[in-house]
A = this chain, B = another copy of it.
């Protein structure tokens, strides 16, 4: 016995990341500080989640400067958008799976 073809992308399924992705999908790009206050999570948390999304290729990390202060921006990749769409599709399938 094996295989769990859930289809539900675990990277996206995590509530914190799901929220993060939804925010990103509505703006062109967002920086760390903005996301921090928009999502109300700790810095470490945000950092690691964003990292996970980057590794999955769902968000692009743009490190730069604002004057002399470091500033990191994030934006959704095309791959990310597709994955999100697919995620909602899968979820809808489950949702409408009432009884057998």
Report the contact-size class of chain A (Cβ under 8 Å from the partner).
20 to 34
Nearest B residue (CB) for A10: B15
Cβ of A22 and Cβ of B88 under 8 Å apart? no
Cβ of A16 and Cβ of B6 under 8 Å apart? yes
| Stretch from A23-31, A50-58, A59-67 that touches the partner | A23-31
This chain's copy number in the assembly: 2
Chain B residues within 8 Å of A22, by CB: 94-95, 97-99
Smallest CB–CB gap between A16 and chain B, Å? 7
The complex places the Cα of A24 from the Cα of B41 at a distance, in Å, of: 35
What are the 7 A-B residue pairs with the smallest beta carbon separation, nearest first?
Answer: A26-B99, A26-B98, A27-B99, A6-B15, A8-B15, A22-B97, A1-B42
